[in-house]
Structure 1
Amino acid sequence: MDRRGPRYDFGGVDTNGSLDTAGPTFTVSGIDDYTGYDDYSGVNQVVKDVENDKDTTAATNGSMENGGGELVERLEALDLQASNLEDLQLAGVVTRKACAIVLRDYNSDEDDSDEDEEDGRLISEKYYHDNGNPKFYKTFQKLYSRGEPWDRVVEEKHFDVDGVCRMDVHFALGQPYLYRKHYYPNQRLKSESVFWVEDEKSLKCRKIGWWRTYYDTGNVKSEIQYNDKGVRIGFAKRYGHDGTIEWVRDYTKDYEDKLWSFNDRKGKLVFSEVDAAQMLGFEGIPKTMSEVNSRYRQLCAPLHPDKKPEPESTEQFIRLSRARDVLKEYFEKKGEY
């Protein structure tokens, strides 16, 4: 079978690029299991009108019939589920025959339709050091993108001159996660990391999940977590040889504090009535707006920019003012202001 797909001879387009409104005729090759249409004279074709720079439809009054004389409607846009098999075969999307089975006469021992095709085969390559020990193992799948071949890595193993595996990479088919592990000469785990692969061909990726390093004794040395955007989140920790924590940082809290500060400066901070009440020192939402005003004046008096121009005091003054505004809106909606 010719795997290059169908090739079309557009007989309805002349060499000057003008459109023959009788509609193009097709000469199809490269599909060895296509039953074919007998007449293409009535195919509606969406073409590009270069002069007017808009899509137009060139149609004729004829009809397109298949070999059995039944009218077939053409779809302007192909869909894997909605389009019929003939349309998909004509476009080169499907190149295999439909598998129709009559169970009364079916013998599964003679069915070879589920055998692997050559273009899906996994290939393994092995290389060795001069002393005969393994150096590099690779398992991959040969794929094609726009006619260009490339290797889709499935697994890699790297060995030192003594034949000890020092790095192991797994990138299972059908999933976006690539796992990489490094090992010490004593085969204890040195580090483990996870990547979210955005492009299988170039292996463009970002960090995701837990990343950890280890001492050669097996104890954890450091750990950090990344979210689906490749940004550090949660607690990052470093440990001593005995397992005690030597350093820790809460990245999520840092982000929240910076976000709060940014929103304060930009005037876009949004919070609930309960948050506003807590900022003013109430355990719950106060009963009246007069209580809010009284507490607001009490807290803001020493923070007014005229008395304390420091940035921290100004930001706190702005927070309290916004908290008062939130509760004011709350009481206005209740009709109690």
Structure 2
Amino acid sequence: MSDSFTAYESDFQLALQEAKTKISQIDSVEGEQRKQYLKAIEAATDEALEVLDQMGIEIQSLPSNQRSSYNAKIRQYKLQIDETKNKYKQLADSQDKRDLFGGRYRDGEEAVADSQRKQLLNNHSSLDRSSQRLQESQRIALETEHIGGNILNDLRSQREQITGARNTLQQADTYIDKSVQTLKSMGRRLLANKFISYAIIGVLILLIFLVLLIRFNNVQSSIIKYCYSKEFHSSSILKHGHIHKPKPGEELHITFITKDGKQHSYEVAEGDNILDIAQANNLDMEGACGGSCACSTCHIIVDPEYYDEIPEPDDDENDMLDLAFGLTETSRLGCQVKMTKELDGLRVALPAMTRNLQNKDFN
């Protein structure tokens, strides 16, 4: 067993020595030869590592009391291999940089110093830029703080305005509630007044309708009575007293135009009314009420030339004239017109027909 371990140990030393030799000689070569040296170092290191693994396998078959010394050797050999591998790694990295940067890359302390100098310059520039950024940031922070202070003041002012507006809105809301209640109360009153008005209007319309109905029935009854009396009865012309004989030299003249267009002229005395004059001379003028201004059967039409000389009719005469047939602007009742000196030469026309409607017909 010790012979096998010794043989592996000898192979390990040869491979490790070859790798160290190539490492010591690599600085004297360049280009492709340098790359071949790197490959040889890598191969020798791998071979030494394989031999070391075989040595580890061999000591597994040894008794436990003998393994400790061999394990110590194997640990020592591993440290040597690790050191060799680290050197190989540095050389390989250096070769990679040469391949990447070409002639710009230099090995040794000068290259490291230049690199460190450049790094320091870069760091110094970075620090300057960082310092400038910090100063700019500080300036911006101060400006931001100032702007923030202004914004806070504006917000405080706006908050006060909003608070005032809220209080105003609350007061307005209170007033609106009161107004709504007042409007509702007014609405209820208006609705009640509306119903009352409708009721009053309805009652008035009903009363007007009843009055018109009663009036229409009375008028209709009167007309029926009048027509009935005219159709089935012949009433004689009533005579209403006598006229006075005029004194010589004081005669007044009047002309009647009858229904057939004939003219009849008479000399009469002052103070006689036209109804008495017509009946005294047998003219067709009825005078159904006896000259009491209670009918329209003594209706006459006065010549416009003399109409203004007659006194104005009173209310009773106007009421009866409203019932007269063929009413004109110069219509009067014969019983209410008395002869005067101003009416000397008076001309009156008798209407084609008369309507015997009296006050008693409406009672």
> Which protein is bigger by CA-based radius of gyration?
2
Higher relative contact order (CA 8 A, sep 6+): 2
- Normalized per residue, the structure richer in helix is 2
TM-score, shorter chain, exceeding 0.5: no
- Normalized per residue, the structure richer in strand is 1
TM (normalized to structure 2)?
0.15
